[in-house]
Structure 1
């Protein structure tokens, strides 16, 4: 038989069987049974035991309630869900077992604390009928988006961009390989059919009609949010956004990786990425917005120009830019603060951060109003209307408030008359106790007499045994110690009740008034988040302007279509990392007539850097940034495709070459007339002639396309350079090299024409290969080149002979062919023709066997 408390535990645990239950017992969250066995090693805490009734013991471990956030993060990061079970009534006012309830289930996708500041934490859901529907939300910021597509490839591409921390799927989709990178949560299909979302977002009925499959995914997502936060209204989620492919460029995972947009290939986080070069944001929500812009370039020219106008205004007004950046240093993360307010977890320090941020808005409005740019003044209305709330919070919240809401001292003196009065009683009472101690010392003559306090006995008078003969008769003995006695008096206990009552009441009243303040803030959620979104945009524009000034970027000229022209373009990331040398700029001109550049030259000479820089310049222009070039005219690209580098996909059993071919196939399936393609060393993952054949065919395919995608194609197969002579759209470029005897110097300059050599042995020498090995390599190279020359001459001779034979020698026609050529087909009946065909087939078989 189990104890009543364990019966309660098991009942609550049954409500969250797939989660580790944090069961609140006093000042600790306890875990029992299998939950304890699982959690103890992850949290690095001791596994103990507890009597569960009937003489049985159950495994147990626990963590202090005041440090729970760190332990939650550890478990969730390890891939576990945690159900937080709280005491929902006062233990002192309850007889028997305290009522407990699960107040929240924390999973990788529902975390709201201890998150990376400048990155979103998305919870996503997928649904499939005729189309694929995707919905994703960051519950910490309130960003909620839906997306619908016919293609599973496009869906997985979008998933790879948002990288959800948790993905909700119906059972029938769980086994598909597409979801391998994600933390999966299985959901019943009926949860996708709920209508609670439509009831909440009644003003967005057109969205439900336009994207029915995506909205089913959103229904499932919303149901999960409500289930994991019972009793909570996520009021900071104000609207559902729709992702429309015609508005934003869809970047596949390989392109994002190859261009190192927000994450480095070398695994060093942000360092060495485009984000690291452009990010001068000062706010967390500005940093998240910049990351999103980099991963979602625009396709609409008017939107791009609008962003460029804002950036140009801040480039030209350096004083305004500097003042804005300085003010943004005082701005806290409004989006996540409002998330905490919505979830009821915001404490006094959070509201203080909110007050400080809102207090900056009047200065920001003044700066924008006084600035040179009329366009930036459009942000002023979004920053208005919150001054009274800022004043109220500033007047209310104590700057020294504790983290816990139950420890008192949350509010400033002067905010509440009742609290001030109770505090006066409490502080006056303590002065009275000090006065009492002094009076009793004088009255009794006991100089060592002390008036003390503990939670067990309350206030008491302590007298040492040496002075026991001086103890007054009215003292009532309460406790005997080794060296002293403790006493109480009726007068002392009466005043104790008054003091402690005041302290308890003031703590309860402060807590209640704080909750009212928090509700006031919640009521302003829409206005606060509107201000947050405006601040984020201004922060990003200031960041892009700062990058443009520091790195000497220029405003690109955008056009809907036509040729791509970049004069003295530079790679933004490589340039920023150079210290002792200057980056060598290069021009790029791709037209509709000459749209495929074949680039040859030795390894390490800069082919890959050059191609990546072109792609990055186009992408930067389409996020609304100035670009690293003296001048750039950019036609809007609907896709940027890259096939760069070599890597195995061991998880799915794909070799380097298979991965390469898959990426090339993806490009060829989705290429359009407005695409920009970067191909680096196609075909090098297999045998030479196989690789050459494939590279040749890919180049011909892209050159022969009616849509003429702009393409940069780097290769070591020098045979491909002959394509310039046979395909009008192809032209050759190469990387300049200067030779000094057997030494070479890379010029990093892109020059018209083909490279005459690969300089592989010279590059190997630069890399430090042994001299005797290099000598042997030269001998082998000479032999191979001689053999190849002889083979080529023999091939040309045979080809010439074959041509001469075909031109001057009339070969006799095969008898069967002669017979067929002279046959009058029109004179044959269908039956005769069929019989003749069978007879001809038999004669051919007979002839082949002779």
Structure 2
């Protein structure tokens, strides 16, 4: 039976009223020194946090579930709830309980969701925490926005659904917003890879989006951001801003700009390529990714930017060479580079520190760290000023140590401030005269009282005089009855005891008024001074953000210089040509994982659209074909990032797209087989190639039958060679040795193989690329290495010998020209026994045959064969 409101306690009535406004969030309800959860929230909290679930009375005849934790443990428990995928509403006491009779006023002060988090424990230093919003437009187009409230970064883009999908894969948002009515469309397009939240349809409108964005940025239009024509993207950005307001985040002064992501500015990689090349994470457990290998940045903001540089390599030769020139300069200028590295290590996460100012989340210790960072900005600017390089000079000009606010912080904040501002000891001595007086009173109270006692004792001749305190009338002078006749007339008697009397004096009363509540006054005054400093800091948000952006770029360039020296990378020559010429190339990730003392086997590789457009690569299993494919793509990618590359020399023709189809994986949740996934990814490549594309294909067609696979692989090579004018540079690794025949009929197809040699019964993989095709896969040898039982290996060799002796291969050159289809019967040219089997099979009505009858018929045929 439903409880009437009269049956609820006043506290639960207040809780339920607030909970009704946040029905889909776990409500942390502050009660005294605890955050409590009730009812369904309590059940969730007890499971996720591992805290005790209890019951408490709620009115005359009802109970509610209850689970709580101490308020000082909020950070720890909040982290667990959000990481478990829950939205959390933090409801605080808005009044001092000591000053209120009855129920304390409460309200939600912050809503925390996976995509809206500013708490350090919810964030990873080297990773952005993006909130994304998607708006589906017309003609299979969509707009997308990415907003990181912890850094103030705000990106928008618009394009095909495939492009938006790639961006979602690249930015990897913690939460994605879209309109409720688009839920089915979103799932069909992007799957269920993301934590999502739906908003009302009216939020996703052009007029509302422009209104909320213009109001936030205090502009009349969005032309200044270069996004005026991106209607779908603007709608997505408006939804993201609405969501921040909706989740109790009104102070967003650190979100100062919209940045447009233009597809034409960057080398394109679809989400399959990002996964296949293991750019951000390895596809195997405990494996290393490219970012894990290259990231030697010195600041969290540099680490975050490096990920974006990997995902969005440049397509402008001028900008690429600008970065390469800067890296070369940093390598050459070794001493200044070491100085820059030393200073940068001290800076810390300036980007997230400055974002805490408007959010009112920055603590005194972080303000002092901000000051130390600004001091390093000055030192870095001075060092850069002595280096002659256009890009580094540009970064130096962007740096501003913000001297006025730096001086103020150092003048006002103590050297070792506490984390919590309300604990005292934040403001430096000498900042405020009243504060200094109050501190003197609070710290030297005993000495002052002893001085009064001594002074009055000498003046009156009362040797046993003492100063004391009680809660009734505060500080007093106590005189024994022996000396009470010596008490001056201006003393006021307050209490008579059996053997003494107590008095107060005007001086003692004046001091009491000063000392009473001195600690509270000190804390209140310190908070006022601290708040005034934070208000002054607001004016420096934009220049400090520019500092952070410049330092992040410098950090990435320093990282590239470090990698080049440490790993012996060389500067690539990025040209406007259409070929790829790598000398002694190495795989950057595998190379770093080799055992000590073992060196990577290097390889030369040439792809040329007019001479050697397609390489058919064959060779044994485990010989290194896939590594060679990936290293070619990674070297190309690193060059476009502006990084030196793992090769002795490399001429990299400007590339606009890298496509890979590597490995096999089922999409079971989507009902797709390995082969269907393979064909979807390959179709995406075929439909999007350009003359400047680099295509990496590994084992296409192996997800189906052998002859189907050969046919598909064969036709793909023909298509890339003959049926498109684009002539994309292509590396095609395969087990289908029949494809080697293509070299004879297609001028720009060349066969290569990974070499090996046989020593006794063993195969040694030399991992060296050589011209010509290979005819062996050595699969059984690999099985032996993997630890298969000897009897299994022996039997496999027997079967292989039988198959090889019985198999009759049709001349593969026939495939080059269509021939009339001929279907051979398995019974042709066989004995009467097979004729008998044919008659029995023809007599069977398959449509009426039960499974048991089928098994019986099969048994009859088996008996005939025996």
Q: TM-score, normalised by structure 1?
A: 0.86
1:635-675 Cα shifts (integer Å, max 9, x gaps)? 12211111111222222222222222221122112222211
Partner of residue 727, structure 1: 746
How far 1:339 sits from its partner (Å)?
A: 1.7
CA distance in 2, matches of 1:96, 1:777: 84
Partner of residue 437, structure 2: 421
Partner of residue 560, structure 1: 576
Q: Is the Cα contact below 8 Å between 1:347 and 1:404 reproduced in 2?
A: yes
Partner of residue 123, structure 1: 131
Partner of residue 276, structure 1: 292
SS of residue paired to 2:517: helix
How far 1:458 sits from its partner (Å)?
A: 12
Partner of residue 172, structure 2: 163
Partner of residue 114, structure 2: 108
**Is 1:14 paired with 2:16?**
no
Alignment RMSD (CA, Å): 3.3
Partner of residue 742, structure 1: 761
CA distance in 1, matches of 2:324, 2:454: 76
Task: Kindly report which structure 2 residues correspond to 1:440-455, keeping only aligned pairs within 5 A, or say none.
Answer: none
How far 1:567 sits from its partner (Å)?
A: 0.9
Task: Kindly report which structure 2 residues correspond to 1:700-711, keeping only aligned pairs within 5 A, or say none.
Answer: 700-704=718-722, 705-711=724-730
CA distance in 2, matches of 1:763, 1:437: 96
How far 1:327 sits from its partner (Å)?
A: 1.0
**Is 1:180 paired with 2:192?**
yes
CA distance in 1, matches of 2:283, 2:810: 41
Q: Is the Cα contact below 8 Å between 2:357 and 2:537 reproduced in 1?
A: yes
Task: Kindly report which structure 2 residues correspond to 1:346-385, keeping only aligned pairs within 5 A, or say none.
Answer: 346-385=362-401
Partner of residue 816, structure 1: none
CA distance in 1, matches of 2:682, 2:755: 28
Task: Kindly report which structure 2 residues correspond to 1:187-202, keeping only aligned pairs within 5 A, or say none.
Answer: 187-193=199-205, 194=208, 195-201=211-217, 202=219
Partner of residue 241, structure 1: 259
1:46-82 Cα shifts (integer Å, max 9, x gaps)? 2234443334332222222222111111111111111
Partner of residue 767, structure 1: 786
**Is 1:588 paired with 2:594?**
no
Partner of residue 624, structure 1: 642
SS of residue paired to 2:266: coil
Structure 1 residues 686 and 488 mapped into 2: Cα distance closer, same or farther (>3 Å)?
Answer: farther
1:339-391 Cα shifts (integer Å, max 9, x gaps)? 21121111111111101101112211111112343541222222125122122
Structure 1 residues 34 and 802 mapped into 2: Cα distance closer, same or farther (>3 Å)?
Answer: closer
Residue of 619, 622, 641 corresponding to 2:659: 641
Structure 1 residues 674 and 330 mapped into 2: Cα distance closer, same or farther (>3 Å)?
Answer: same
How far 1:598 sits from its partner (Å)?
A: 0.2
Residue of 606, 610, 631 corresponding to 2:624: 606
CA distance in 2, matches of 1:379, 1:233: 29
Structure 1 residues 3 and 631 mapped into 2: Cα distance closer, same or farther (>3 Å)?
Answer: same
Structure 1 residues 459 and 70 mapped into 2: Cα distance closer, same or farther (>3 Å)?
Answer: farther
SS of residue paired to 2:150: coil
CA distance in 2, matches of 1:326, 1:441: 63
CA distance in 2, matches of 1:441, 1:38: 68
CA distance in 2, matches of 1:378, 1:328: 17
Partner of residue 656, structure 1: 674
How far 1:17 sits from its partner (Å)?
A: 1.4
Tell which deviates more after alignment, 350-359 or 401-410: 401-410
Structure 1 residues 477 and 516 mapped into 2: Cα distance closer, same or farther (>3 Å)?
Answer: farther
1:731-780 Cα shifts (integer Å, max 9, x gaps)? 10000111223222111100011113222233333333333332222222
Q: Is the Cα contact below 8 Å between 2:741 and 2:813 reproduced in 1?
A: no
Tell which deviates more after alignment, 488-497 or 416-425: 488-497
Tell which deviates more after alignment, 521-530 or 257-266: 257-266
CA distance in 2, matches of 1:186, 1:469: 82
SS of residue paired to 1:581: coil
SS of residue paired to 1:604: coil
Q: Is the Cα contact below 8 Å between 1:419 and 1:506 reproduced in 2?
A: yes
Structure 1 residues 585 and 441 mapped into 2: Cα distance closer, same or farther (>3 Å)?
Answer: farther
Task: Kindly report which structure 2 residues correspond to 1:305-384, keeping only aligned pairs within 5 A, or say none.
Answer: 305-384=321-400
Structure 1 residues 552 and 802 mapped into 2: Cα distance closer, same or farther (>3 Å)?
Answer: closer
Partner of residue 805, structure 2: 786
Q: Which runs of no fewer than 5 residues in structure 2 stay unpaired?
A: 1-5, 485-492, 822-866
Residue of 125, 140, 149 corresponding to 1:139: 149
Residue of 217, 220, 223 corresponding to 2:242: 223
Partner of residue 305, structure 2: 289
How far 1:297 sits from its partner (Å)?
A: 0.9
Tell which deviates more after alignment, 376-385 or 558-567: 376-385
How far 1:94 sits from its partner (Å)?
A: 3.3
Q: TM-score, normalised by structure 2?
A: 0.84
Partner of residue 615, structure 2: 597
Q: Is the Cα contact below 8 Å between 2:395 and 2:550 reproduced in 1?
A: yes
Structure 1 residues 197 and 694 mapped into 2: Cα distance closer, same or farther (>3 Å)?
Answer: same
Partner of residue 45, structure 1: 51
SS of residue paired to 1:220: helix
Structure 1 residues 747 and 423 mapped into 2: Cα distance closer, same or farther (>3 Å)?
Answer: same
Structure 1 residues 125 and 793 mapped into 2: Cα distance closer, same or farther (>3 Å)?
Answer: closer
How far 1:496 sits from its partner (Å)?
A: 5.7
How far 1:399 sits from its partner (Å)?
A: 3.3
Q: Is the Cα contact below 8 Å between 2:469 and 2:475 reproduced in 1?
A: yes
Query: Aligned pair count?
Result: 779
How far 1:137 sits from its partner (Å)?
A: 0.2
Q: Which runs of no fewer than 5 residues in structure 1 stay unpaired?
A: 462-467, 479-486, 804-850
Q: Is the Cα contact below 8 Å between 1:426 and 1:500 reproduced in 2?
A: no
Structure 1 residues 66 and 689 mapped into 2: Cα distance closer, same or farther (>3 Å)?
Answer: same
1:542-561 Cα shifts (integer Å, max 9, x gaps)? 01011011111111111233
How far 1:246 sits from its partner (Å)?
A: 0.2
Structure 1 residues 727 and 93 mapped into 2: Cα distance closer, same or farther (>3 Å)?
Answer: same
Q: Is the Cα contact below 8 Å between 2:450 and 2:467 reproduced in 1?
A: no
